[in-house]
Structure 1
Protein backbone atom coordinates (compact mmCIF):
# COMPACT_ATOMS: atom_id res chain seq x y z
CA UNK A 1 0.00 0.00 0.00
CA UNK A 2 1.52 3.36 -0.96
CA UNK A 3 1.73 6.49 1.16
CA UNK A 4 -1.23 8.22 -0.56
CA UNK A 5 -3.50 5.27 0.30
CA UNK A 6 -2.32 5.35 3.89
CA UNK A 7 -3.07 9.06 4.25
CA UNK A 8 -6.57 8.56 2.82
CA UNK A 9 -7.63 6.56 5.87
CA UNK A 10 -7.43 9.76 7.90
CA UNK A 11 -8.14 12.43 5.29
CA UNK A 12 -10.52 11.02 2.67
CA UNK A 13 -13.59 12.86 1.38
CA UNK A 14 -17.21 11.98 2.12
CA UNK A 15 -17.71 10.52 -1.35
CA UNK A 16 -15.07 7.81 -0.93
CA UNK A 17 -15.49 4.23 0.27
CA UNK A 18 -13.04 4.89 3.11
CA UNK A 19 -15.14 7.67 4.64
CA UNK A 20 -17.01 5.38 7.03
CA UNK A 21 -13.67 4.18 8.40
CA UNK A 22 -12.59 7.77 8.92
CA UNK A 23 -15.65 8.46 11.08
CA UNK A 24 -14.93 5.42 13.25
CA UNK A 25 -11.27 6.39 13.55
CA UNK A 26 -12.26 9.87 14.70
CA UNK A 27 -14.33 8.33 17.48
CA UNK A 28 -11.43 6.08 18.48
CA UNK A 29 -9.07 9.05 18.37
CA UNK A 30 -11.35 11.07 20.67
CA UNK A 31 -11.59 8.17 23.11
CA UNK A 32 -7.79 7.84 23.21
CA UNK A 33 -7.57 11.58 23.90
CA UNK A 34 -9.95 11.01 26.83
CA UNK A 35 -7.41 8.47 28.12
CA UNK A 36 -4.72 11.15 28.16
CA UNK A 37 -3.13 10.94 24.72
CA UNK A 38 -2.61 14.01 22.58
CA UNK A 39 -4.24 14.15 19.16
CA UNK A 40 -0.89 13.45 17.44
CA UNK A 41 -0.10 10.54 19.79
CA UNK A 42 -3.51 9.04 19.07
CA UNK A 43 -2.99 9.35 15.30
CA UNK A 44 0.42 7.69 15.48
CA UNK A 45 -0.94 4.85 17.61
CA UNK A 46 -3.90 4.31 15.25
CA UNK A 47 -1.62 4.42 12.21
CA UNK A 48 0.75 1.80 13.62
CA UNK A 49 -2.17 -0.30 14.83
CA UNK A 50 -3.77 -0.47 11.38
CA UNK A 51 -0.73 -0.39 9.07
CA UNK A 52 1.69 -2.49 11.11
CA UNK A 53 5.32 -1.85 12.03
CA UNK A 54 6.76 1.34 10.55
CA UNK A 55 9.88 3.47 10.86
CA UNK A 56 9.68 6.99 12.27
CA UNK A 57 10.40 8.30 8.76
CA UNK A 58 7.46 6.37 7.30
CA UNK A 59 5.17 7.60 10.09
CA UNK A 60 6.24 11.19 9.50
CA UNK A 61 5.54 10.94 5.76
CA UNK A 62 2.20 9.19 6.13
CA UNK A 63 0.85 11.53 8.79
CA UNK A 64 2.61 14.62 7.40
CA UNK A 65 4.42 15.31 10.66
CA UNK A 66 7.86 16.85 11.20
CA UNK A 67 10.43 14.09 11.65
CA UNK A 68 11.75 15.44 14.96
CA UNK A 69 8.21 15.61 16.34
CA UNK A 70 7.56 12.04 15.17
CA UNK A 71 10.55 10.72 17.11
CA UNK A 72 9.25 12.52 20.19
CA UNK A 73 5.79 11.01 19.66
CA UNK A 74 6.93 7.40 19.28
CA UNK A 75 9.25 7.77 22.29
CA UNK A 76 6.41 9.14 24.41
CA UNK A 77 4.16 6.26 23.31
CA UNK A 78 6.94 3.85 24.26
CA UNK A 79 7.12 5.44 27.70
CA UNK A 80 3.38 4.89 28.06
CA UNK A 81 3.82 1.24 27.15
CA UNK A 82 1.67 1.56 24.03
CA UNK A 83 4.40 1.14 21.40
CA UNK A 84 7.45 -1.11 21.23
CA UNK A 85 10.61 -0.57 19.19
CA UNK A 86 12.00 -3.47 17.18
CA UNK A 87 15.76 -4.11 17.13
CA UNK A 88 16.29 -3.35 13.48
CA UNK A 89 17.94 -0.67 11.37
CA UNK A 90 16.23 1.63 10.86
CA UNK A 91 14.14 1.11 13.98
CA UNK A 92 10.61 -0.20 13.40
CA UNK A 93 7.80 0.74 15.80
CA UNK A 94 4.82 -1.50 16.56
CA UNK A 95 1.60 -0.64 18.43
CA UNK A 96 0.14 -2.86 21.13
CA UNK A 97 -3.22 -4.51 20.59
CA UNK A 98 -6.01 -2.09 21.44
CA UNK A 99 -7.36 -4.08 24.41
CA UNK A 100 -3.88 -4.31 25.95
CA UNK A 101 -3.27 -0.63 25.31
CA UNK A 102 -6.50 0.42 27.04
CA UNK A 103 -5.75 -1.90 29.95
CA UNK A 104 -2.32 -0.29 30.29
CA UNK A 105 -3.77 3.24 30.24
CA UNK A 106 -6.41 2.34 32.82
CA UNK A 107 -3.82 0.83 35.16
CA UNK A 108 -1.61 3.91 34.84
CA UNK A 109 -4.52 6.21 35.62
CA UNK A 110 -5.54 4.08 38.60
CA UNK A 111 -1.98 4.20 39.93
CA UNK A 112 -1.99 7.98 39.59
CA UNK A 113 -5.30 8.21 41.46
CA UNK A 114 -3.99 5.91 44.21
CA UNK A 115 -0.93 8.15 44.67
CA UNK A 116 -3.13 11.25 44.94
CA UNK A 117 -5.49 9.51 47.37
CA UNK A 118 -2.56 8.57 49.63
CA UNK A 119 -1.58 12.25 49.80
CA UNK A 120 -5.02 13.37 50.96
CA UNK A 121 -4.43 12.95 54.70
CA UNK A 122 -0.97 14.52 54.72
CA UNK A 123 -2.07 17.51 52.62
CA UNK A 124 -5.10 18.11 54.86
CA UNK A 125 -2.90 17.91 57.94
CA UNK A 126 -0.41 20.43 56.53
CA UNK A 127 -3.25 22.72 55.44
CA UNK A 128 -4.80 22.72 58.90
CA UNK A 129 -1.47 23.70 60.48
CA UNK A 130 -1.70 27.10 58.76
CA UNK A 131 -4.07 29.55 60.53
CA UNK A 132 -6.99 31.21 58.77
CA UNK A 133 -6.13 34.86 58.15
CA UNK A 134 -9.37 36.14 56.62
CA UNK A 135 -11.08 38.91 58.57
CA UNK A 136 -14.72 38.18 59.35
CA UNK A 137 -17.18 40.95 58.52
CA UNK A 138 -20.88 41.57 58.96
CA UNK A 139 -21.48 41.72 55.23
CA UNK A 140 -24.29 39.65 53.77
CA UNK A 141 -23.42 36.28 52.38
CA UNK A 142 -22.25 36.64 48.78
CA UNK A 143 -23.84 34.49 46.12
CA UNK A 144 -21.62 31.98 44.37
CA UNK A 145 -21.47 30.22 41.04
CA UNK A 146 -19.34 27.47 39.55
CA UNK A 147 -18.85 26.18 36.01
CA UNK A 148 -18.46 22.42 35.74
CA UNK A 149 -17.12 20.67 32.64
CA UNK A 150 -17.21 16.89 32.28
CA UNK A 151 -19.07 14.02 33.94
CA UNK A 152 -16.62 13.62 36.84
CA UNK A 153 -16.79 17.15 38.32
CA UNK A 154 -20.55 17.32 37.76
CA UNK A 155 -21.16 13.98 39.49
CA UNK A 156 -19.01 15.10 42.44
CA UNK A 157 -21.04 18.32 42.74
CA UNK A 158 -24.32 16.38 42.67
CA UNK A 159 -22.99 14.13 45.45
CA UNK A 160 -22.16 17.23 47.53
CA UNK A 161 -25.70 18.50 46.95
CA UNK A 162 -27.23 15.17 47.98
CA UNK A 163 -25.09 14.97 51.12
CA UNK A 164 -26.23 18.44 52.21
CA UNK A 165 -29.90 17.88 51.35
CA UNK A 166 -32.40 17.73 54.21
CA UNK A 167 -35.71 18.61 52.54
CA UNK A 168 -36.47 18.35 48.81
CA UNK A 169 -34.21 17.13 46.04
CA UNK A 170 -35.81 17.97 42.70
CA UNK A 171 -34.63 16.73 39.31
CA UNK A 172 -35.97 17.80 35.90
CA UNK A 173 -34.63 16.05 32.81
CA UNK A 174 -35.04 13.68 29.91
CA UNK A 175 -34.95 9.90 30.20
CA UNK A 176 -31.34 10.02 28.98
CA UNK A 177 -30.44 12.53 31.71
CA UNK A 178 -32.05 10.43 34.43
CA UNK A 179 -30.44 7.28 33.05
CA UNK A 180 -27.03 8.95 33.31
CA UNK A 181 -27.76 9.90 36.93
CA UNK A 182 -28.95 6.37 37.60
CA UNK A 183 -25.71 4.83 36.34
CA UNK A 184 -23.73 7.37 38.41
CA UNK A 185 -25.44 6.02 41.59
CA UNK A 186 -27.13 9.37 42.27
CA UNK A 187 -30.44 7.72 43.19
CA UNK A 188 -28.67 5.38 45.61
CA UNK A 189 -27.18 8.41 47.36
CA UNK A 190 -30.59 10.06 47.57
CA UNK A 191 -32.13 6.91 49.09
CA UNK A 192 -29.54 7.08 51.86
CA UNK A 193 -30.29 10.75 52.57
CA UNK A 194 -33.30 12.32 54.35
CA UNK A 195 -34.23 14.22 51.20
CA UNK A 196 -37.61 13.82 49.53
CA UNK A 197 -36.97 13.02 45.86
CA UNK A 198 -39.19 14.52 43.14
CA UNK A 199 -38.52 14.00 39.43
CA UNK A 200 -40.02 15.36 36.25
CA UNK A 201 -39.31 13.49 33.01
CA UNK A 202 -39.60 15.40 29.75
CA UNK A 203 -40.20 14.16 27.17
CA UNK A 204 -41.43 10.66 28.01
CA UNK A 205 -42.51 8.20 25.33
CA UNK A 206 -41.60 4.87 26.90
CA UNK A 207 -40.97 4.25 30.60
CA UNK A 208 -37.57 2.61 31.16
CA UNK A 209 -37.29 -0.16 33.72
CA UNK A 210 -35.30 1.83 36.27
CA UNK A 211 -38.08 4.44 36.47
CA UNK A 212 -40.83 1.85 36.80
CA UNK A 213 -39.05 0.51 39.89
CA UNK A 214 -39.39 3.86 41.69
CA UNK A 215 -42.35 5.09 43.71
CA UNK A 216 -44.92 6.58 41.33
CA UNK A 217 -45.54 9.52 43.65
CA UNK A 218 -42.00 10.73 43.13
CA UNK A 219 -42.21 11.01 39.32
CA UNK A 220 -44.30 12.98 36.86
CA UNK A 221 -44.10 13.15 33.08
CA UNK A 222 -44.39 16.09 30.71
CA UNK A 223 -45.69 15.61 27.12
CA UNK A 224 -43.13 14.95 24.43
CA UNK A 225 -43.64 18.36 22.79
CA UNK A 226 -41.84 20.10 25.67
CA UNK A 227 -38.34 21.45 25.12
CA UNK A 228 -35.47 19.41 26.56
CA UNK A 229 -33.80 20.80 29.65
CA UNK A 230 -32.12 19.37 32.73
CA UNK A 231 -31.63 20.94 36.15
CA UNK A 232 -31.52 20.02 39.85
CA UNK A 233 -32.82 22.09 42.76
CA UNK A 234 -31.71 21.16 46.27
CA UNK A 235 -33.61 22.37 49.36
CA UNK A 236 -34.45 25.63 47.57
CA UNK A 237 -30.89 26.76 48.33
CA UNK A 238 -28.83 25.72 45.28
CA UNK A 239 -29.36 24.78 41.66
CA UNK A 240 -27.40 22.85 39.05
CA UNK A 241 -28.33 23.62 35.45
CA UNK A 242 -27.03 21.47 32.61
CA UNK A 243 -26.03 23.67 29.67
CA UNK A 244 -25.06 20.53 27.73
CA UNK A 245 -26.97 17.51 28.94
CA UNK A 246 -27.42 13.95 27.68
CA UNK A 247 -29.51 15.13 24.72
CA UNK A 248 -26.84 17.53 23.44
CA UNK A 249 -25.09 16.49 20.18
CA UNK A 250 -21.67 16.54 21.89
CA UNK A 251 -20.91 13.85 24.45
CA UNK A 252 -19.13 16.16 26.89
CA UNK A 253 -21.54 17.52 29.51
CA UNK A 254 -21.36 21.07 30.83
CA UNK A 255 -23.23 22.46 33.83
CA UNK A 256 -23.58 25.62 35.90
CA UNK A 257 -24.04 25.57 39.70
CA UNK A 258 -25.17 28.51 41.82
CA UNK A 259 -26.69 29.37 45.19
CA UNK A 260 -28.15 32.62 43.84
CA UNK A 261 -31.46 33.10 45.66
CA UNK A 262 -33.10 34.65 42.61
CA UNK A 263 -32.00 31.88 40.28
CA UNK A 264 -32.89 29.12 42.73
CA UNK A 265 -36.37 30.59 43.27
CA UNK A 266 -36.90 30.89 39.51
CA UNK A 267 -35.87 27.29 38.76
CA UNK A 268 -37.83 25.97 41.73
CA UNK A 269 -40.93 27.81 40.53
CA UNK A 270 -40.44 26.31 37.07
CA UNK A 271 -40.22 22.86 38.63
CA UNK A 272 -43.39 23.37 40.69
CA UNK A 273 -45.36 24.65 37.69
CA UNK A 274 -44.19 21.67 35.63
CA UNK A 275 -45.01 19.31 38.50
CA UNK A 276 -48.59 20.63 38.66
CA UNK A 277 -48.98 20.15 34.89
CA UNK A 278 -47.28 16.77 34.83
CA UNK A 279 -48.93 13.38 34.78
CA UNK A 280 -48.28 10.29 36.87
CA UNK A 281 -46.32 7.55 35.07
CA UNK A 282 -48.72 4.78 36.12
Structure 2
Protein backbone atom coordinates (compact mmCIF):
# COMPACT_ATOMS: atom_id res chain seq x y z
CA UNK A 1 0.00 0.00 0.00
CA UNK A 2 1.61 3.28 -1.06
CA UNK A 3 1.45 6.47 1.00
CA UNK A 4 -1.32 8.01 -1.10
CA UNK A 5 -3.59 5.07 -0.35
CA UNK A 6 -2.49 4.85 3.28
CA UNK A 7 -3.37 8.43 4.01
CA UNK A 8 -6.81 8.05 2.45
CA UNK A 9 -8.21 7.74 5.98
CA UNK A 10 -8.12 11.55 5.97
CA UNK A 11 -10.74 11.64 3.22
CA UNK A 12 -14.02 9.89 2.45
CA UNK A 13 -12.77 6.91 0.46
CA UNK A 14 -14.25 3.73 1.92
CA UNK A 15 -12.16 1.20 0.01
CA UNK A 16 -9.10 1.35 2.28
CA UNK A 17 -8.01 -0.85 5.15
CA UNK A 18 -7.74 2.16 7.48
CA UNK A 19 -11.18 3.61 6.71
CA UNK A 20 -12.64 2.05 9.88
CA UNK A 21 -10.37 4.37 11.90
CA UNK A 22 -11.57 7.49 10.08
CA UNK A 23 -13.92 8.78 12.80
CA UNK A 24 -11.38 8.22 15.57
CA UNK A 25 -8.73 9.97 13.51
CA UNK A 26 -11.02 12.95 12.94
CA UNK A 27 -11.64 13.20 16.70
CA UNK A 28 -7.90 13.15 17.35
CA UNK A 29 -7.37 15.83 14.70
CA UNK A 30 -10.10 18.04 16.23
CA UNK A 31 -8.63 17.63 19.72
CA UNK A 32 -5.21 18.67 18.43
CA UNK A 33 -6.86 21.71 16.87
CA UNK A 34 -8.33 22.47 20.31
CA UNK A 35 -4.76 22.47 21.64
CA UNK A 36 -3.86 25.22 19.17
CA UNK A 37 -2.70 23.37 16.07
CA UNK A 38 -4.04 24.25 12.65
CA UNK A 39 -5.86 21.58 10.67
CA UNK A 40 -2.82 21.08 8.41
CA UNK A 41 -0.41 20.93 11.37
CA UNK A 42 -2.60 18.29 13.01
CA UNK A 43 -2.68 16.20 9.82
CA UNK A 44 1.10 16.36 9.43
CA UNK A 45 1.63 15.37 13.07
CA UNK A 46 -0.80 12.45 12.79
CA UNK A 47 0.76 11.29 9.54
CA UNK A 48 4.27 11.29 11.01
CA UNK A 49 3.03 9.69 14.21
CA UNK A 50 1.45 6.75 12.40
CA UNK A 51 3.70 6.33 9.35
CA UNK A 52 7.11 7.04 10.88
CA UNK A 53 9.94 9.30 9.72
CA UNK A 54 9.27 11.02 6.41
CA UNK A 55 10.86 13.71 4.26
CA UNK A 56 9.03 16.92 3.49
CA UNK A 57 8.50 15.69 -0.08
CA UNK A 58 6.91 12.46 1.16
CA UNK A 59 4.66 14.38 3.53
CA UNK A 60 3.61 16.81 0.79
CA UNK A 61 2.83 13.97 -1.61
CA UNK A 62 0.88 11.89 0.92
CA UNK A 63 -1.18 14.78 2.25
CA UNK A 64 -1.45 16.56 -1.12
CA UNK A 65 0.07 19.75 0.26
CA UNK A 66 2.27 22.28 -1.56
CA UNK A 67 5.93 21.53 -0.79
CA UNK A 68 6.65 25.09 0.37
CA UNK A 69 3.73 24.95 2.81
CA UNK A 70 4.90 21.54 4.05
CA UNK A 71 8.33 22.92 5.00
CA UNK A 72 6.59 25.71 6.91
CA UNK A 73 4.35 23.18 8.70
CA UNK A 74 7.16 20.87 9.83
CA UNK A 75 9.25 23.85 10.95
CA UNK A 76 6.35 25.23 12.97
CA UNK A 77 5.79 21.81 14.56
CA UNK A 78 9.49 21.71 15.43
CA UNK A 79 9.18 25.11 17.10
CA UNK A 80 6.28 23.77 19.16
CA UNK A 81 8.38 20.79 20.25
CA UNK A 82 6.14 18.24 18.55
CA UNK A 83 8.43 17.15 15.71
CA UNK A 84 12.18 16.51 15.52
CA UNK A 85 14.39 16.58 12.41
CA UNK A 86 16.86 13.79 11.73
CA UNK A 87 20.40 14.61 10.59
CA UNK A 88 20.08 12.96 7.20
CA UNK A 89 19.92 13.97 3.57
CA UNK A 90 17.23 14.64 2.65
CA UNK A 91 16.05 15.62 6.13
CA UNK A 92 13.49 13.31 7.69
CA UNK A 93 10.99 14.38 10.32
CA UNK A 94 9.65 12.34 13.24
CA UNK A 95 6.66 13.07 15.49
CA UNK A 96 6.92 12.97 19.26
CA UNK A 97 4.92 10.37 21.17
CA UNK A 98 1.31 11.57 21.54
CA UNK A 99 1.44 11.63 25.35
CA UNK A 100 4.65 13.69 25.31
CA UNK A 101 3.23 15.98 22.64
CA UNK A 102 0.05 16.70 24.60
CA UNK A 103 2.09 17.27 27.77
CA UNK A 104 4.24 19.78 25.86
CA UNK A 105 1.19 21.63 24.55
CA UNK A 106 -0.40 21.76 27.99
CA UNK A 107 2.79 23.16 29.54
CA UNK A 108 3.03 25.83 26.84
CA UNK A 109 -0.58 26.86 27.38
CA UNK A 110 -0.12 26.92 31.16
CA UNK A 111 2.93 29.15 30.78
CA UNK A 112 0.91 31.53 28.61
CA UNK A 113 -1.91 31.60 31.18
CA UNK A 114 0.56 32.18 34.04
CA UNK A 115 2.09 35.10 32.15
CA UNK A 116 -1.34 36.66 31.60
CA UNK A 117 -2.32 36.05 35.23
CA UNK A 118 0.78 37.90 36.42
CA UNK A 119 -0.31 40.93 34.41
CA UNK A 120 -3.87 40.90 35.78
CA UNK A 121 -3.29 43.04 38.88
CA UNK A 122 -1.01 45.59 37.24
CA UNK A 123 -3.37 46.02 34.31
CA UNK A 124 -6.31 46.49 36.66
CA UNK A 125 -4.43 49.13 38.66
CA UNK A 126 -3.46 51.04 35.50
CA UNK A 127 -7.08 50.95 34.36
CA UNK A 128 -8.28 52.42 37.67
CA UNK A 129 -5.90 55.35 37.28
CA UNK A 130 -7.86 56.59 34.27
CA UNK A 131 -11.07 58.49 35.23
CA UNK A 132 -14.48 57.39 34.00
CA UNK A 133 -15.99 60.01 31.70
CA UNK A 134 -19.19 58.33 30.48
CA UNK A 135 -22.53 59.71 31.67
CA UNK A 136 -25.30 57.14 32.07
CA UNK A 137 -28.32 57.85 29.88
CA UNK A 138 -31.47 56.00 28.88
CA UNK A 139 -29.59 54.87 25.79
CA UNK A 140 -26.92 53.18 27.90
CA UNK A 141 -29.66 51.06 29.49
CA UNK A 142 -30.87 49.71 26.15
CA UNK A 143 -30.96 46.02 25.26
CA UNK A 144 -27.59 44.47 24.53
CA UNK A 145 -26.12 41.65 22.46
CA UNK A 146 -22.72 39.97 22.25
CA UNK A 147 -21.10 37.67 19.68
CA UNK A 148 -18.91 34.92 21.14
CA UNK A 149 -16.39 32.79 19.20
CA UNK A 150 -14.80 29.60 20.56
CA UNK A 151 -15.64 27.38 23.52
CA UNK A 152 -13.62 29.46 26.02
CA UNK A 153 -15.55 32.75 25.77
CA UNK A 154 -18.85 30.87 25.43
CA UNK A 155 -18.20 28.76 28.54
CA UNK A 156 -17.27 31.91 30.48
CA UNK A 157 -20.54 33.54 29.43
CA UNK A 158 -22.51 30.46 30.51
CA UNK A 159 -20.76 30.64 33.90
CA UNK A 160 -21.83 34.28 34.24
CA UNK A 161 -25.41 33.35 33.38
CA UNK A 162 -25.47 30.52 35.92
CA UNK A 163 -23.96 32.71 38.65
CA UNK A 164 -26.74 35.27 38.16
CA UNK A 165 -29.56 32.72 37.86
CA UNK A 166 -32.07 32.62 40.71
CA UNK A 167 -35.18 30.92 39.30
CA UNK A 168 -34.92 28.89 36.08
CA UNK A 169 -32.03 27.85 33.87
CA UNK A 170 -33.21 26.20 30.67
CA UNK A 171 -31.04 24.30 28.19
CA UNK A 172 -32.09 22.98 24.78
CA UNK A 173 -29.57 20.96 22.78
CA UNK A 174 -28.36 17.70 21.33
CA UNK A 175 -26.44 15.01 23.19
CA UNK A 176 -23.21 16.43 21.73
CA UNK A 177 -24.06 19.90 23.04
CA UNK A 178 -24.91 18.64 26.52
CA UNK A 179 -21.85 16.40 26.62
CA UNK A 180 -19.62 19.39 25.85
CA UNK A 181 -21.34 21.35 28.66
CA UNK A 182 -20.94 18.37 30.99
CA UNK A 183 -17.19 18.27 30.39
CA UNK A 184 -17.05 22.05 30.95
CA UNK A 185 -18.65 21.60 34.44
CA UNK A 186 -21.76 23.58 33.48
CA UNK A 187 -24.07 21.14 35.27
CA UNK A 188 -21.94 21.30 38.42
CA UNK A 189 -22.29 25.09 38.40
CA UNK A 190 -26.06 24.83 38.03
CA UNK A 191 -26.29 22.22 40.79
CA UNK A 192 -24.43 24.53 43.17
CA UNK A 193 -26.67 27.50 42.35
CA UNK A 194 -30.18 28.30 43.66
CA UNK A 195 -31.69 28.00 40.19
CA UNK A 196 -33.97 25.25 38.85
CA UNK A 197 -32.61 23.33 35.85
CA UNK A 198 -34.78 22.18 32.94
CA UNK A 199 -33.38 20.50 29.83
CA UNK A 200 -34.79 19.41 26.50
CA UNK A 201 -32.66 16.96 24.53
CA UNK A 202 -33.18 16.57 20.79
CA UNK A 203 -32.72 14.13 19.24
CA UNK A 204 -32.39 11.35 21.83
CA UNK A 205 -32.24 7.74 20.67
CA UNK A 206 -30.17 6.40 23.56
CA UNK A 207 -29.60 7.86 27.02
CA UNK A 208 -25.86 8.40 27.68
CA UNK A 209 -24.42 7.66 31.11
CA UNK A 210 -23.95 11.27 32.16
CA UNK A 211 -27.67 11.98 31.63
CA UNK A 212 -28.78 8.85 33.47
CA UNK A 213 -26.96 10.18 36.55
CA UNK A 214 -29.10 13.34 36.58
CA UNK A 215 -32.62 13.89 37.92
CA UNK A 216 -34.89 12.59 35.15
CA UNK A 217 -37.63 15.04 36.21
CA UNK A 218 -35.44 17.86 34.93
CA UNK A 219 -35.00 16.33 31.46
CA UNK A 220 -37.32 15.70 28.55
CA UNK A 221 -36.50 14.28 25.15
CA UNK A 222 -37.75 14.96 21.63
CA UNK A 223 -36.98 12.19 19.09
CA UNK A 224 -36.69 14.66 16.22
CA UNK A 225 -33.69 15.56 14.11
CA UNK A 226 -32.60 19.02 15.29
CA UNK A 227 -28.93 18.57 16.18
CA UNK A 228 -28.10 22.07 14.95
CA UNK A 229 -30.37 23.75 17.51
CA UNK A 230 -28.94 24.71 20.89
CA UNK A 231 -29.81 27.58 23.22
CA UNK A 232 -29.97 28.54 26.91
CA UNK A 233 -32.46 30.79 28.69
CA UNK A 234 -31.74 32.29 32.10
CA UNK A 235 -34.54 33.59 34.36
CA UNK A 236 -36.41 34.97 31.32
CA UNK A 237 -33.87 37.79 31.25
CA UNK A 238 -31.11 36.62 28.89
CA UNK A 239 -30.53 34.03 26.21
CA UNK A 240 -27.52 32.37 24.58
CA UNK A 241 -28.11 30.95 21.11
CA UNK A 242 -25.53 28.76 19.39
CA UNK A 243 -25.18 29.66 15.71
CA UNK A 244 -22.57 26.88 15.42
CA UNK A 245 -22.89 24.23 18.09
CA UNK A 246 -21.11 20.99 19.02
CA UNK A 247 -21.44 19.67 15.47
CA UNK A 248 -18.42 21.93 14.78
CA UNK A 249 -14.86 21.78 16.22
CA UNK A 250 -14.41 23.63 19.52
CA UNK A 251 -12.54 26.57 17.95
CA UNK A 252 -15.33 27.08 15.39
CA UNK A 253 -18.22 27.22 17.88
CA UNK A 254 -20.11 30.49 17.57
CA UNK A 255 -22.87 31.84 19.86
CA UNK A 256 -24.99 34.95 20.26
CA UNK A 257 -25.94 36.33 23.70
CA UNK A 258 -28.64 38.93 24.26
CA UNK A 259 -30.88 40.36 26.98
CA UNK A 260 -33.46 41.50 24.43
CA UNK A 261 -36.85 41.06 26.07
CA UNK A 262 -38.50 40.11 22.78
CA UNK A 263 -35.86 37.54 21.88
CA UNK A 264 -35.79 36.08 25.39
CA UNK A 265 -39.60 35.71 25.42
CA UNK A 266 -39.54 34.04 22.01
CA UNK A 267 -36.82 31.52 22.94
CA UNK A 268 -38.44 30.85 26.31
CA UNK A 269 -41.74 30.12 24.58
CA UNK A 270 -39.97 27.77 22.16
CA UNK A 271 -38.37 25.94 25.07
CA UNK A 272 -41.66 25.60 26.97
CA UNK A 273 -43.42 24.31 23.86
CA UNK A 274 -40.66 21.75 23.36
CA UNK A 275 -40.86 20.84 27.04
CA UNK A 276 -44.60 20.18 26.78
CA UNK A 277 -44.11 18.00 23.68
CA UNK A 278 -41.11 16.19 25.14
CA UNK A 279 -41.12 12.81 26.84
CA UNK A 280 -39.57 11.78 30.14
CA UNK A 281 -36.39 9.71 30.00
CA UNK A 282 -37.86 6.89 32.06
TM-score, structure 2 as length reference = 0.79
Residues in 2 aligned to 1:21 and 1:202: alpha-carbon distance in whole angstroms: 27
User: Which 10-residue stretch deviates more, 63-72 or 104-113?
Assistant: 63-72
Per the alignment, residue 241 of structure 1 pairs with 241
Are 2:1 and 1:7 equivalent residues in the alignment? no
Per the alignment, residue 120 of structure 2 pairs with 120
Aligned ranges for residues 1-282 of structure 1 at < 5 Å? Answer: 5-10=2-7, 14=13, 16-17=15-16, 20=19, 23=22, 25-56=25-56, 58-60=58-60, 69-139=69-139, 141-204=141-204, 207-208=207-208, 210-211=210-211, 213-215=213-215, 217=217, 219-225=218-224, 227=226, 229-246=229-246, 248=247, 250-252=248-250, 253-278=253-278, 281=281
For residues 142-200 of structure 1, what are the alpha-carbon distances to aligned partners after superposition, in whole Å with 9 as ceiling and x for unaligned? 22222223322221111000111223222233444334333322222123222233333
5+ long unaligned stretches in structure 1: none
RMSD in angstroms over aligned alpha carbons? Answer: 3.3
Residues in 2 aligned to 1:87 and 1:72: alpha-carbon distance in whole angstroms: 18
Q: How many residues align?
A: 276
Residues in 2 aligned to 1:177 and 1:149: alpha-carbon distance in whole angstroms: 15
5+ long unaligned stretches in structure 2: none
Residues in 1 aligned to 2:34 and 2:121: alpha-carbon distance in whole angstroms: 28
TM-score, structure 1 as length reference = 0.79
Residues in 1 aligned to 2:21 and 2:196: alpha-carbon distance in whole angstroms: 48
The structure-2 alpha-carbon separation of the partners of 1:140 and 1:76, relative to structure 1 and needing over 3 Å to count, comes to closer
Residues in 2 aligned to 1:61 and 1:163: alpha-carbon distance in whole angstroms: 52
Contact 1:204-1:221 at 8 Å conserved across structures: no
Contact 2:165-2:235 at 8 Å conserved across structures: yes
Q: Secondary structure at the match of 2:141?
A: coil
The structure-2 alpha-carbon separation of the partners of 1:139 and 1:172, relative to structure 1 and needing over 3 Å to count, comes to same
The structure-2 alpha-carbon separation of the partners of 1:215 and 1:73, relative to structure 1 and needing over 3 Å to count, comes to closer
Contact 1:222-1:278 at 8 Å conserved across structures: yes
- Displacement after TM superposition at 1:90 (Å): 4.6
The structure-2 alpha-carbon separation of the partners of 1:183 and 1:27, relative to structure 1 and needing over 3 Å to count, comes to closer
The structure-2 alpha-carbon separation of the partners of 1:26 and 1:234, relative to structure 1 and needing over 3 Å to count, comes to closer
User: Which 10-residue stretch deviates more, 175-184 or 9-18?
Assistant: 9-18
The structure-2 alpha-carbon separation of the partners of 1:140 and 1:132, relative to structure 1 and needing over 3 Å to count, comes to closer
The structure-2 alpha-carbon separation of the partners of 1:97 and 1:272, relative to structure 1 and needing over 3 Å to count, comes to closer
Contact 1:10-1:22 at 8 Å conserved across structures: no
Q: Secondary structure at the match of 1:137?
A: coil
